Amino acid sequence: MTAWTGTQEALAAVGRNRAHTEGMSRVLSGAMGSNGVTTVWVPYRINDQLPRCAACGRKVRLPAGAATADCACGGSVAATSYI
Please give the residue ranges that form the binding site for Zn ion (CB under 5 A).
Answer: 53, 55-56, 71, 73, 75
CB of 60 to Zn ion, least distance (A): 7
Q: What is the residue type of 53?
A: C
- Closer residue to Zn ion in complex, CB, 13/56: 56
Between 36 and 57, name the residue whose CB sits nearer to Zn ion.
57
Residue 11 is inside which H or E element, if any?
helix 7-15
Q: In whole angstroms, how close is the CB of 72 to Zn ion at the nearest point?
A: 6
Classify residue 23 as exposed, middle or buried by CB count within 10 Å of its CB (0-12, 13-18, 19+). Answer: middle
- CB 69 → Zn ion: shortest distance, Å? 10
CB nearer to Zn ion: pick between 3 and 55? 55
Cα angle 66, 15, 27 (rounded to 5 degrees) comes to 115
